[in-house]
């Protein structure tokens, strides 16, 4: 009689198809079970099940694998391109931002880069980085204060300009041609009166001083043989 370990080894041989000439009762029983006349499945049924299995396999498995592969290739290229673009643009942006001032849109990028530089810098270099940053802040301060100054003067100029324009409307090149002509006409109309007025004031002055009033253009028009005239 075989023990359980010996029987196990013999059973392995039996399963592999070896013919055993052992007269052990357990082994001969096992042989009867292995050779049990079990009915085989009908070949048509077997093929039908196989067909269903393989069609299911073809339906589900190869397509996703192909799709994943093509997606991977595409994405690899795309990711590389996008990464390169981001890298280049970020480099360019950071470079552009390095000279920006607080009024610039790129200024936050500059500050972020500075913070990163300060964070990355090793302990011994931190102080020099801080010094640089302080200089940078100073520069920015000067720039901003100078800009404020120019702004103030600019605002003053802008307040004065309209009055000047109003006075010398005729000189302003921005004044349209028609309005220029109008102004010229008005000036022409005003000019004789203005001259008369000035002559009147001169006569009054000379009267006060006891002198004869100077002959003006208005006086010249008086007839010489007038009874009153000397």
Nearer to other proteins, 41 or 82 (CB): 41
Element (H, E) at 128: helix 123-167
State which residue, 56 or 184, has the beta carbon closest to other proteins: 56
Burial (CB count within 10 angstroms: exposed 0-12, middle 13-18, buried 19+), residue 6: middle
In this chain, which stretch among 9-17, 117-125, 154-162, 188-196 interacts with other proteins, using CB under 8 A?
Answer: 9-17
**Spatial CB neighbours of 91, under 8 Å, sequence gap ≥ 6:** none
Of 216, 215, 218, the closest CA to residue 230 belongs to 215
We find the least distance from the C-beta atom of residue 105 to other proteins, in angstroms, to be 51
Among 19, 21, 43, 60, binds other proteins (CB under 8 A): 60
C-beta of residue 9 within 8 angstroms of C-beta of residue 22? no
Span interacting with other proteins, options 52-60, 78-86, 100-108, 167-175, rule CB under 8 A: 52-60
Nearer residue to other proteins within complex by CB, 37 or 166: 37
**13 lies in the site for other proteins, by CB under 8 A:** no
Helix (H) or strand (E) holding 84: helix 62-98
Decide: is 26 part of the binding site for other proteins (CB under 8 A): yes
3-state secondary structure of 117: helix
Q: Does 15 bind other proteins (CB under 8 A)?
A: yes
Structure token pair of residue 20: 């055993």
Closer to other proteins at the Cβ: 27 or 97?
27
Q: Which residue of 65, 174, 178, 228 would you call a contact of other proteins, by CB under 8 A?
A: 65
Tokens standing for 60?
A: 């589900």
Q: What is the CA radius of gyration of the chain?
A: 56
Binding residues (CB under 8 A) for other proteins: these are 3-5, 7-8, 11-12, 15-16, 25-30, 32-34, 36-41, 45-46, 49-50, 52-54, 56-58, 60-62, 65
């Amino acid at each position: 009689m075989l023990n359980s370990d010996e029987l196990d080894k013999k059973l392995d041989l039996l399963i592999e198809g070896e013919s055993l000439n052992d007269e052990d009762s357990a082994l001969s029983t096992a042989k009867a079970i292995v050779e049990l006349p079990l009915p085989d499945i009908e070949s048509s049924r077997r093929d039908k099940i196989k067909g269903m299995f393989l069609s299911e396999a073809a339906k589900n498995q190869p397509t996703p694998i192909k799709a994943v592969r093509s997606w991977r290739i595409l994405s690899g290229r795309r990711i590389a391109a996008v990464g390169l673009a981001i890298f280049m643009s970020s480099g360019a942006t950071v470079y552009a931002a390095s000279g920006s001032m607080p009024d610039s849109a790129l200024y936050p990028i500059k500050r972020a880069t500075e913070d990163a530089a300060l964070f990355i810098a090793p302990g011994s270099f931190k102080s020099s980085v801080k010094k640089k940053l302080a200089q940078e802040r100073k520069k920015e301060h000067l720039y901003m204060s100078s800009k404020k100054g120019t702004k103030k003067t600019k605002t003053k100029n802008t307040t004065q300009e309209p009055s000047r324009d109003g006075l010398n409307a005729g000189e302003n090149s921005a004044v349209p041609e028609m309005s220029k002509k109008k102004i010229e006409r008005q000036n022409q109309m005003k000019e004789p009166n203005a001259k008369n007025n000035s002559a009147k004031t001169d006569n009054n002055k000379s009267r006060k001083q006891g002198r004869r009033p100077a002959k003006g253009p208005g006086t010249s028009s008086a007839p010489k043989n007038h009874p009153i005239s000397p």
